[in-house]
Chains A and B, each alone.
Chain A
Amino acid sequence: AQSVSQHNHHVILSEAASLELGCNYSYGGTVNLFWYVQYPGQHLQLLLKYFSGDPLVKGIKGFEAEFIKSKFSFNLRKPSVQWSDTAEYFCAVIPYNAGNMLTFGGGTRLMVKP
């Protein structure tokens, strides 16, 4: 079965610092990749997704992620974080042709200090 690892459980940054959250998955076949965000008290929301094409994907709120197939990685980046980015971030995978069965990583709690 596939699995997803997020290396950092908690990250604390100051405003304007750059962010990179790691995500690795274990699955040998074609996968679709996602980053979701859960702001305090809010629903899970999609930040960005990768299905095919350009491995550098741009999402909402200035986030981007790069799919590196050889490293089974899909790291999330943002050049300059804001206090409003404080949230929990989840990386997720769906193997091709697995319907909607998302496998999530354990999540990374990001706190941005003003």
Chain B
Amino acid sequence: KAGVTQTPRYLIKTRGQQVTLSCSPISGHRSVSWYQQTPGQGLQFLFEYFSETQRNKGNFPGRFSGRQFSNSRSEMNVSTLELGDSALYLCASRSSGRTDTQYFGPGTRLTVL
């Protein structure tokens, strides 16, 4: 089985712009979660989608949003980028079982100038 894939792998944007990141989960996985990883704040949960519905949301401003499509692929969007949004954005997928493992993708490295 192919793993979780994320595109693009690297992005450079300037302040005020918006960005869309994409995640394709492992085939058959219906749950997709997003995390932000920074040196200062570590790994922080952004949101989780299951069957196209947002199931949980972390403590991030409304500039961060996401969605999930019927094929379980997910996108996250950040509007009005700030310097502090520079981070590695990780996507994880899991099948529907409660004890199943979350598998992480390689991440998208976003740099905001």
Q: Which residues in A have some Cβ–Cβ distance to B below 8 Å?
A: 32, 36, 43-46, 49, 51, 90, 92, 98-107
Contacts and interface: CB of A to CB of B under 8 A. Distances in A.
Interface residues of B, number: 26
A44 B55 CA distance: 22
A49 B103 CA distance: 13
B60 to A, nearest CB: 13
Nearest to B106: A43
Main secondary structure, interface of B, reads strand
A106 B42 contact: yes
Contacts, number: 55
Interface of B: 3-4, 31, 33, 35, 42-45, 48, 50, 55-56, 58, 90, 92, 94, 98-99, 101-107
Given A36-B104, A43-B104, A99-B48, 13 more contacts: A43-B3, A43-B107, A44-B90, A45-B104, A46-B102, A51-B98, A99-B56, A100-B48, A100-B56, A100-B92, A101-B48, A101-B56, A101-B58
Which 10 A/B pairs are nearest by Cβ-Cβ distance?
A104-B43, A44-B104, A101-B56, A100-B33, A99-B56, A99-B55, A100-B48, A106-B42, A51-B99, A43-B104
Contact of B45 (A46, A51, A101, A107): A101
Contacts of B107: 43
